[in-house]
Amino acid sequence: MIENNRTHDVFDAIADPTRRRLIRLLAEAEELPLHALTPHFQMGRTAVSKHLAILKAAGLVADRKVGRETRYRLNAGPLEEVQHWLACYSKFWSANLSRLHEILEEDFKPVVGHRFQFRTKPTEFWNGVIEGEVLVVEEPTRLSYTWSSGETHTITWTLQDLGNGMVHLHLEQTGISSEPALNGAKFGWSKWLGELEKVLEQ
């Protein structure tokens, strides 16, 4: 059931990554006081308290007094509104994800020595074809492969478990020897990683 006694928009409330992190923390615990939430952020108690107030105004957080301490808990009901909105677009995601799965199944395999090819929309300067070869597979922490679309680079993904449900992702691209390739990498990765961040935050 969607609550109507809110004074703050749910979509606006979850737009901030700090508040999404608070929602995740509260979803993993029955109740948490402010002093237990604050260490998870690079900000003081006052700032965290302001974010909690916005979530409370959106109906996403409830609180209660236990002695001198205020404890917070998640009220996931208003997120139903977000779920309904996202459901309208699920058919587009399903089609795109199915196609991505088909492409990966067709050509890419996490096997050392496997050669693969990616294709994207060509431009007047490039045919849109990327050739690659898998160099290193260390499940589930490291994947390295060549990336060739004119000159050959090496792409390495490394995952490090930080505990508490947090993972550090390190991406490295080596072998760039020309300014056009460097500019292309900067543009491409900044755009792609921005989309990846949005997915991970969800």
Q: In the chain, where does DSSP find H-type helix?
A: 10-14, 17-27, 34-37, 45-57, 79-87, 90-107, 179-201
Residues 125 and 193 in one domain: yes
**Of 55-59, 87-91, 184-188, which gets the smallest average pLDDT?**
87-91
- Provide the pLDDT confidence category of residue 200 given band limits of 50, 70 and 90: low
Tokens of 185: 């990498």
- Provide the pLDDT confidence category of residue 85 given band limits of 50, 70 and 90: confident
Residues 80 and 172 in one domain: no
Residues 120 and 194 in one domain: yes
Residues 75 and 118 in one domain: no
Residue range 106-136, pLDDT digits in tens = 577 888 998 888 777 777 666 778 888 999 9
Write the CATH number for 145.
Answer: 3.30.530.20
- Domain hosting residue 72, numbered range: 10-84
Report the number of distinct structural domains present in the chain: 2
Q: Are 153 and 173 in contact (CB under 8 A)?
A: yes
Report the C-alpha gap between 162 and 10 in whole angstroms: 30
Start-to-end Cα distance in the chain: 21
Would residue 2 count as lying in a domain? Answer: no
CA 92 to chain centre: 19
